[in-house]
């Protein structure tokens, strides 16, 4: 079956940084594939565009420039926050503030953000709110494991149910 809008796509892939010879960032296997509802905004638009003509059993290989993936690094998204905002019951959990930890936070409009701890000083914590893959060229190589029509329930919920998908 060919990939079209509102189909459930299962695929295995190797994601590398920069090009085919780059560092492996992520890998899925045929027996534990990535499963998603195609054309529903769950995946990067250019990623889906590269899959648009494929069907079950097809191999693929393509590279996404950072602008077509998670964008360039935004230096304005790296900010210093007062260390006191990380206090819980008057104490700061230094394990939570370890360099590289990702901390869920809210901005001043109440939106959820993921911030990565860059450094911790005496009074300030430097946080990076860029997507972890921002600034990276992404190279994908993989195989379309399966394509099927989405169920009415999956379409109404906007995500895949069952194996590889969401369970209610």
Read off the DSSP letter of residue 99: T
Which pLDDT score, from 0 to 100, does residue 49 have?
97
Nearest C-alpha neighbor of 118 from the set 133, 103, 108: 103
Determine contact, residues 112/106, Cβ cutoff 8 Å. Answer: yes
Bridge partners (DSSP) of residue 2 are 55
19-28, 90-99, 127-136: least confident range: 90-99
**Residue carrying structure tokens 């360099």:** 99
Q: Report the greatest alpha carbon distance in the chain.
A: 59
The overall average pLDDT reported for the chain is: 93
Residue 99, classified by CB atoms within 10 Å of its CB into exposed (0-12), middle (13-18) or buried (19+), is exposed
The whole-angstrom separation of Cα 52 and Cα 63 is 15
The whole-angstrom separation of Cα 12 and Cα 10 is 7
The whole-angstrom separation of Cα 32 and Cα 75 is 36
Which pLDDT score, from 0 to 100, does residue 15 have?
98
- Domains of the chain, first to last: 7-70+136-157 (3.10.50.40), 75-128 (2.40.10.330)
pTM: 0.81
């Amino acid at each position: 079956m060919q990939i079209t809008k509102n189909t459930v796509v299962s695929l295995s892939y190797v994601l590398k940084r920069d090009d085919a010879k780059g560092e492996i960032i992520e890998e899925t296997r045929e027996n534990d594939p990535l499963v998603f509802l195609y054309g529903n905004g769950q995946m990067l638009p250019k990623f889906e565009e590269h899959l648009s003509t494929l069907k079950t059993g097809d191999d693929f290989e393509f590279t996404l420039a950072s602008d077509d993936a998670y964008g360039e690094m935004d230096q304005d998204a790296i900010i210093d926050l007062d260390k006191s905002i990380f206090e819980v019951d008057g104490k700061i959990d230094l394990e939570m503030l370890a360099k590289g930890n990702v901390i869920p936070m809210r901005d001043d409009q109440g939106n959820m953000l993921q911030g990565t701890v860059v450094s911790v000083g005496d009074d300030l914590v430097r946080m990076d709110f860029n997507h972890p893959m921002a600034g990276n060229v992404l190279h994908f190589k993989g195989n379309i494991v399966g394509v099927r029509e989405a169920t009415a329930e999956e379409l109404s919920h906007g995500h895949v149910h069952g194996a590889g998908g969401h369970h209610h």
